[in-house]
Chain A
């Protein structure tokens, strides 16, 4: 009952203020658009907006970022499905089956499934987050120390190495190379310069956003160039036939399984939505009777990945708000918003700024619901991006990837 009262109060605080409504809508549309436009992501938008949040109240600042998080995670699925360019790492498994569906002329079905399942996953996660935050936060505080967090991160890496790599060894070599790249810059304990080769740009390390842009956006352009040179490039077929209710209902097991996986992955500090999406996809392959069809354009692949990553968004707020541990790049930026307002995320936020917490929770709940409405309306516009020949889209992707960060 207390939860419901808090939720109603949070909703009134959110929608009772015109500026709050404006920021909410801006966050919803901005997150979706930046998530969907190839070459930029919700992280680009969040990075651009970060300095401006100093002029907003803490409630509005955190609410804006949480809304961008929810809708951006969904928006990234659109580019993963249409162009094989995941808007963020958490959308990478969506591309495994989403892009083949586009190539088969089922882009509309894939995007429709992503819209519906993102909304379901996110909304359920937001509801559980509201009910369970306090007890889970209390348990996590007493149960999670550095060894547990190390074990969880290692578990995440092990999953990542087994999904998406051609072989076991290639998976681990990729993981190790990633860890090696993360070593560049100042050592976090002693401040000693490591592999900066005298370049001041490398002192802060190789940043996450340009790395994502390079690996996902720029590489996709190069792959298409190679295909064009060979003459094998074929423009993706456009289809706007959304999945029927029966088709979506047939995915109920995948949706429930992915919500559970997504929520538990999201709640683990430092892991978040990316592991959720990979595990959701991995489990879908493992549970399926016709697992060989995965990777060839199976709707269950899109459903599993998108439900899981959006289910993780609500859960990811729990370690952030209860322990001050961000689960990914965007939640790390939220820590920066807190710090700009002389606040530290942690258990004290629940005591000192309960209003803020509930405005954020309400905003996330409604942001996930609005994915369903705006997602369906906007998707038909975005699918038309496919009609643009790739030679016209390539310079835009490369230019935004270069100046976007």
Chain B
């Protein structure tokens, strides 16, 4: 037992829980296929069984030999240094992980709360858009407060938030904020440089995707963001 650490057990538990959860869920599509006698669930279940075996095998290996059981050369080659950086920054402690996880749930609140509120209050389309605007403003405020002192959490969440807002507010309105936000969270503080680089990146993106390739980037669906997006598209095409 001396080689076994809590992290090893937690990892094995996560793999086994995933396998069990998906196995239970596989009954949803456990149907026969006329031309394939094993049915739709046989292959996924075989994979789940192998995952469980590999997870137990890994745990057993860690119990016997600890972490150093693979090729030293290849493990060195595939090490990107993130693990060491996280360890030194004390980003492995449960409190930090929980805080980061909570920040990362903010975009999912945006994706679900307006819909639930809309159903409860039987809102029409305009009302739902108002609910989305209000939710976005509140969650953005919470996000900005929550990432003070946790820029890693902010950086992990920002692309998710950008993705969540993209459909409603459009690429043309949200992308400049996303670019500036990323630069700020990456440690840049020179606003002049940030604005210049941001304008350059946006300019290239618009020229490439909108003017040259005619790729339909999301214009947004909520007014006045929709009008803003379509005006830019009309101007550039």
Contacts and interface: CB of A to CB of B under 8 A. Distances in A.
- Which of the listed residues A48, A221, A399 has the most CB atoms from chain B within 10 Å of its own CB? A399
Contacts of A96: 77-78
Contacts of B78: 96, 164-166, 295
Nearest to B33: A190
B182 A176 contact: no
A331 interface: no
A170 B70 contact: yes
Interface in A168-182: 168-170, 172-173, 176-177, 179-180
A229 B29 contact: no
Given A173-B54, A179-B47, A230 B88 contact: yes
Contact of A165 (B70, B82, B89, B155): B70
Nearest to A398: B159
Given A84-B80, A168-B69, A180-B47, A395 B201 contact: yes
B51 A166 contact: no
| Interface footprint category on A | 35 or more
A44 to B, nearest CB: 11
Contacts of A376: none
A207 interface: no
A236 to B, nearest CB: 13
B29 A228 contact: no
Nearest to A285: B73
Binding site of B, secondary structure by majority: helix, strand, loop or mixed? helix
B44 A183 contact: yes
A351 interface: no
Interface in A369-405: 389-392, 394-396, 398-399, 402-403
A294 B73 contact: yes
- Which of the listed residues A48, A170, A390 has the most CB atoms from chain B within 10 Å of its own CB? A170
A268 to B, nearest CB: 22
A273 to B, nearest CB: 19
Contacts of A163: 74
Nearest to A288: B73
Contacts, number: 177
Contacts of B155: 221-222, 225
Contacts of B217: 403
B237 interface: no
Contacts of A220: 80
B182 A394 contact: yes
A187 B39 CA distance: 10
A149 B134 CA distance: 55
- Which of the listed residues B54, B58, B166 has the most CB atoms from chain A within 10 Å of its own CB? B54
Interface string B4-26: 00000000000100000010011
A55 interface: no
A192 B15 contact: no
A193 interface: yes
A295 B77 contact: yes
Contact of B33 (A165, A187, A391): A187
A201 to B, nearest CB: 12
Interface in B46-61: 47-48, 50-51, 54-55, 57-58, 61
- Which of the listed residues A84, A164, A180, A232 has the most CB atoms from chain B within 10 Å of its own CB? A180
Contact of B81 (A176, A223, A291): A223
Contacts of A229: 85, 89, 91, 151-152
Interface in B82-119: 82, 85-86, 88-89, 91
A53 to B, nearest CB: 14
A192 B182 contact: no
Given A170-B70, A180-B51, A295-B73, A391 B186 contact: yes
Contacts of B25: 195
A176 B47 contact: yes
B213 to A, nearest CB: 6
Given A228-B186, A398-B182, 6 more contacts: A166-B75, A167-B70, A189-B33, A391-B187, A396-B201, A399-B178
14 contacts: A167-B58, A167-B69, A169-B54, A176-B51, A190-B36, A194-B44, A229-B91, A232-B85, A232-B88, A294-B77, A391-B182, A392-B183, A395-B183, A403-B205
